[in-house]
Amino acid sequence: MKLPSLTASLLSALIGTAALAEDTSEPIKVGILHSLSGTMAISETTLKDAMLMLIEQQNARGGVLGRKLEPVVVDPASDWPLFAEKARELIAGDQVAAVFGCWTSVSRKSVLPVFRELDSILFYPVQYEGEESERNVFYTGAAPNQQAIPAVEYLMDQGVERWVLAGTDYVYPRTTNKILEQFLKDRGVADEDILINYTPFGQSDWQTIVSDIKAFGSTGKKTAVVSTINGDANVPFYKELANQGITAEQIPVVAFSVGEEELAGIDTAPLVGHMAAWNYFQSVDDPANYEFIDAWHKFTGSDKRVTNDPMEAHYIGFNMWVKAVEKAGTTDPDKVIDAMVGIEVPNLTGGKAIMGKDHHITKPAMVGEINAEGQFDIVWESEGEVPGDAWSDYLPGSKDLIADWTDPIRCGNYNTTTKTCGGAETTASN
């Protein structure tokens, strides 16, 4: 009497197994969440192209787990709430295995609740303000201790005494400048030697602001601008510097969001000597870098297309994800997240990137000077790779916090004094 029921159960199991086998023959979808229009397109479009190249290369090697990769590209259009909608579309609708995307911190903050809720994975490739460590996010760009702090220390060694902290008005510049302001004061810099200024995204009129910078730097003390200006506002900012005759010898600018791609749209002749701080430059002398540049030129069909730091971050993050998926034997987010910690892959500067327990990677810190060709001459580099630090040692509310997503802590902001977890994230970045 029970045989028909048993037969039905076996048939159901066989159908399920067949369906599973069919699923594994389907491509693995990979989400690409970068602005292709709006104020951030100047920076983000090239990251979309870089991801398409990396996926094409991986497919030529046989894909992942024997399955081809299929890119799914969306355009959040520099609209921060739209980033969250597009992330949900990728994860719930397209069922991507992971997402590579965002540039600004406000876009990243917008998507975080979606990645938590739907338990997916975001690879974030851009330098940011720290003060965050999420289980569902892997930060392949620089934390402040890997970019902002080393750059300011370099300028101090060059004799800079007065500081203009100029940024776009959102979370990354405000929090980074809060860290830098405290760092400078800890080093004995007086309040009157620090000028802080914020402007909206897409700022086009810089005449008054640059005049203020020029006046601030006319006291006889060596002055520098530390720039966290983002997106296409950089073009008129640098043009106005040139218009008012501000040279790198007079008031050098070190930028944290201006790389080779942004310089491609600017007459760099008046900007020679101004600087940027990154963890990679196209001018790095290393065979892996030359191979990457050649592949990029071949993929784009143009030897004028430049490479930059966030592209290398995607290169590292993508290769780490591939390695973690192969290690886990699945694209299941929970298993991949656990497999990611400790993964090592080559970077493009001759070293290795290692994923830490706090979901940040090791990176070399570099400062480069703009040359007449629109590239950077590297003038300073750290000795070896620097581990990322999610929580700043210079903010009172952060100095006792660490992030560790391994057993037994599994916490993004664990207080080493109270031995308690404050939750997945707290933020000093409103």
The 10s digit of each residue's pLDDT in 53-95 is: 999 999 999 999 999 999 999 999 999 999 999 999 999 999 9
Output the DSSP codes for 312-351: HHHHHHHHHHHHHHHHHTS--HHHHHHHHTT-EEE-SSSS
As a whole number of angstroms, the distance between CA 307 and CA 349 comes to 13
Sorting pLDDT into bands at 50, 70 and 90, what band is 25? confident
Q: Is residue 9 part of a domain?
A: no
pLDDT of residue 98: 98
- Residue 418 belongs to a domain: no
Would 401 be classed as within a structural domain? no
pLDDT at 214 over 70: yes
Residue 391 placed within a domain = no
Provide the sign of the torsion angle of the four alpha carbons 173, 144, 42, 379, taken in this order: positive
Q: Could you read off the pLDDT of 252-275 as tens digits, one per residue?
A: 999 999 999 888 877 888 889 999
Cα(98)–Cα(330) distance, rounded to whole angstroms? 12
Sign (positive or negative) of CA dihedral 274, 278, 281, 284: positive
* Percent of the chain topping pLDDT 70: 93
The pLDDT tens digits for 124-181 are 999 999 999 999 999 999 999 999 999 999 999 999 999 999 999 999 999 999 999 9
**Token digits for 83?**
């980033």
H or E segment to which residue 153 belongs: helix 148-157
Q: 278 and 151, same structural domain?
A: yes
Q: Are residues 191 and 125 in the same domain?
A: no
Sort 414 into a burial class: Cβ within 10 Å, 0-12 / 13-18 / 19+: buried
What contacts 335, CB < 8 A, 6 or more positions away? 328, 329
Within this chain, do residues 152 and 227 fall inside the same structural domain, yes or no? yes
CB 365 within 8 A of CB 342: no
In the predicted model, is pLDDT for residue 30 greater than 90? yes
Could you tell me if 360 and 226 lie in one domain? Answer: no
Residue 60 sits in which domain range?
A: 23-142+286-364
Are 219 and 268 found together in one domain? yes
pLDDT score of 363: 98
> Based on the domain organization, do 247 and 374 belong to the same domain?
yes
Boundary of a domain, candidates 341, 364, 387: 364
Torsion of CA 128, 134, 140, 142, to 10 degrees: 30
Question: Mind giving me the DSSP string for 92-115?
Answer: IIS--SEEEE--SHHHHHHHHHHH
The domain spanning residue 160 has which CATH number? 3.40.50.2300
Q: Is residue 359 part of a domain?
A: yes
Q: Is the pLDDT of residue 290 over 80?
A: yes
What is the token pair recorded at 399?
Answer: 């100095």
The three-point CA angle 238-169-48 to 5° equals 70
164 close to 226: Cβ distance less than 8 angstroms? yes
Residues 301 and 324 in one domain: yes
The answer, yes or no, to whether residue 49 has pLDDT greater than 70, is yes
pLDDT at 231: 87
Whole-angstrom CA distances from 224 to 213, 221, 281, 365 are: 9, 10, 22, 19
With respect to residue 41, please indicate whether it lies within any of the assigned structural domains. Answer: yes
Shared domain check, 169 and 104: no
Percent of the chain at pLDDT exceeding 90: 87
**Tokens 């030129």 — which residue?**
297
Low-confidence winner among 260-269, 301-310, 390-399 (lowest mean pLDDT): 260-269
Q: How far apart are the first and last CA of the chain?
A: 68
Nearest to 296 by CA among 286, 305, 309, 284: 305
Domain match, 176 and 207 both: yes
> Would 384 be classed as within a structural domain?
no
3-state secondary structure of 353: strand
The pLDDT, as a whole number, for residue 2 is 40
State the Cα–Cα distance between residues 130 and 173, nearest whole angstrom.
Answer: 11
Per DSSP, what are the bridge partners of residue 421? Answer: 414
pLDDT (0 to 100) of residue 270: 81
Please give the helix or strand (H or E) that residue 367 lies within, else none: strand 366-370
Span 191-212, mean pLDDT?
A: 97
Asked whether residue 335 is domain-assigned, the answer is yes
- pLDDT value at residue 289: 98
Cα distance between residue 230 and residue 256, in whole Å: 9
Q: Largest alpha-carbon pair distance within the chain?
A: 99
| Distance (Å, whole) CA 209 – CA 232 | 17
**Total domains in the fold of the chain:** 2
Helices 80-88 and 105-118, packing angle to 10 deg: 30
Question: Of 313, 334, 364, which residue is a domain's last?
Answer: 364
Confidence grade of residue 23 (pLDDT, cut at 50, 70, 90): low
The answer to whether 169 touches 230, Cβ cutoff 8 Å, is no
| Residue 299 and residue 157 share a domain | no
DSSP state for residue 233 in the 8-state scheme: G
Same domain, residue pair 173 and 132: no
Domain end point (choices 334, 351, 379): 379
pLDDT digits over 361-388, tens only?
A: 999 999 999 998 889 999 999 999 999 9
Question: What integer is the mean pLDDT of 11-39?
Answer: 70
| Judgement on whether residues 115 and 175 belong to the same structural domain of the protein | no
Per DSSP, helices labelled H in 66-147 are 80-88, 105-118
**What mean pLDDT is reported for the chain?**
92
> Do 352 and 378 meet the contact criterion of CB atoms below 8 Å apart?
no
Q: Confirm if 41 and 35 have CB atoms less than 8 A apart.
A: yes
Report the pLDDT value the prediction gives residue 3, as an integer from 0 to 100. Answer: 40
Minimal CA–CA distance to 18: which of 30, 28, 10, 7? Answer: 10
